[in-house]
Amino acid sequence: DRDGRGFHILTPVLESTALSKAAGTTVYMKLENVQPTGSFKIRGISYFCQEAAKKGCKHFVCSTGGNAGFATAYAAKKLGIPATIIVPTNTPQATVQKLEEQGTEVEVFGKVWDDAYVKALALAETEGWVNVHPFDHPLIWQGHASMVRELKDLLDHKPGAIVLAVGGGGLLAGVVAGLQDVGWQDVPIIAVETKGADSFNAALRAGRLVTLPEITSVAKCLGAKTVSARALECASECQVISQLVEDVEAVQAVELFLDDERLLVQPACGAPLALLYTGRVQQLQREGLLSSDLDSIVVIVCGGSSIQMAGLQALKIQLGMK
């Protein structure tokens, strides 16, 4: 079992009329939001947890803004192994409650994910405990790569580009691994971040890893102050086009997507959707970064286990949106 199937599901690939109209080409949605835990994270994290269990893990610990915690809790429960989830103070109380309902112990520590990660590493010093990194481990990338193998099976042709969100870089690393697996290395990847959570874009511009002074974006699940080293390597192995969107654009995209597809996703997932809704694809074509005869795009709808209507309304008020 090369990627942990049995914990994640094969997700649908559907054409979106609204996104296709906005992007000026056929857009297919890879619906990772319908995974058992609400996001793509279950692919890589469940694979990592299964492998750790085979080696005698007695307790999992994971630092998270939400999605990685739900994936760890789900995998731990299926494996019959206890788990402790460390979340930063900016995590919504509804998320903490949902994690506790999974039967896991939840600790609130630090202002941002990076702080929670330090706490998780300290706990993982306990004998038999294993730290589940939210995005930075080869087994996690291998698990995420399964979605590209599914794309190869479900599409009758190679897409012209893949659009995805970047937080810590785990999804990017997984997609690159998958493209290499199926021989699609020439497919451009458009990697989207929100301004204020743009550690990948900053690293690309600097040519080295950059640590942001703070995370100011409302897309907290993109909030790694330093992107993984593997994400930076990916940019030298495939054509990766880094793009930034505003928080308001990401939240507007969440609303549009809810109306268009009847699916509610978090702002981190709204970032790549915003790129399509705001005509950036056509701009990239005009700039020569994407082919002018782009026949199709796949957008990874990465999902979001922490989003609710009340939370969406609160974000709109915070951003001064009507």
Can you give the pLDDT at residue 93? 85
Calpha distance 231→213 (Å, rounded): 19
Query: What is the band of 5 on the pLDDT scale with cuts at 50, 70, 90?
Result: low
66 or 71: which leads in pLDDT: 71
Can you give the pLDDT at residue 315? 84
Burial of 42 (C-beta count, 10 Å sphere; 0-12/13-18/19+): buried
Can you give the pLDDT at residue 219? 78
Can you give the pLDDT at residue 3? 59
Which residue is listed with tokens 């279950």? 42
Can you give the pLDDT at residue 2? 57
Calpha distance 322→320 (Å, rounded): 7
Note the pLDDT tens digit of each residue in 150-201.
999 999 899 999 999 999 899 999 999 999 999 999 999 999 999 999 999 9
Can you give the pLDDT at residue 4? 59
Residue 259's φ and ψ, nearest 5 degrees, are -70, -45
Q: Domains plus CATH for the chain?
A: 13-40+137-319 (3.40.50.1100), 41-131 (3.40.50.1100)
Note the pLDDT tens digit of each residue in 203-229.
999 999 999 988 888 876 666 889 999
308 or 242: which leads in pLDDT: 242
Query: What is the band of 144 on the pLDDT scale with cuts at 50, 70, 90?
Result: very high
Average pLDDT, the chain: 92
Note the pLDDT tens digit of each residue in 249-305.
999 999 999 999 999 999 999 999 999 999 999 999 999 999 999 999 999 999 887
Contacts of 135 (CB under 8 A, 6+ apart): 68, 167, 168, 169, 170, 171, 173, 224, 228
92 has a pLDDT exceeding 90: no
21 or 4: which leads in pLDDT: 21
Can you give the pLDDT at residue 222? 65
pTM of the model: 0.93
Return the percentage of the chain with pLDDT > 90, whole number.
Answer: 77
307 has a pLDDT exceeding 90: no
Secondary structure of the chain in HEC code, one letter for each residue: CCCCECCECCCCEEECHHHHHHHCCEEEEEEHHHCCCCECHHHHHHHHHHHHHHCCCCEEEEECCCHHHHHHHHHHHHHCCCEEEEECCCCCHHHHHHHHHCCCEEEECCCCHHHHHHHHHHHCCCCCEEECCCCCCHHHHHHHCHHHHHHHHHCCCCCCEEEEECCCCHHHHHHHHHHHHHCCCCCCEEEEEECCCCHHHHHHHHCCCCCCCCCCCCCHHHCCCCCCHHHHHHHHHCCEEEEEECHHHHHHHHHHHHHHHCCCCCHHHHHHHHHHHCCHHHHHHHCCCCCCCCCEEEEEECECCCCCHHHHHHHHHHCCCC
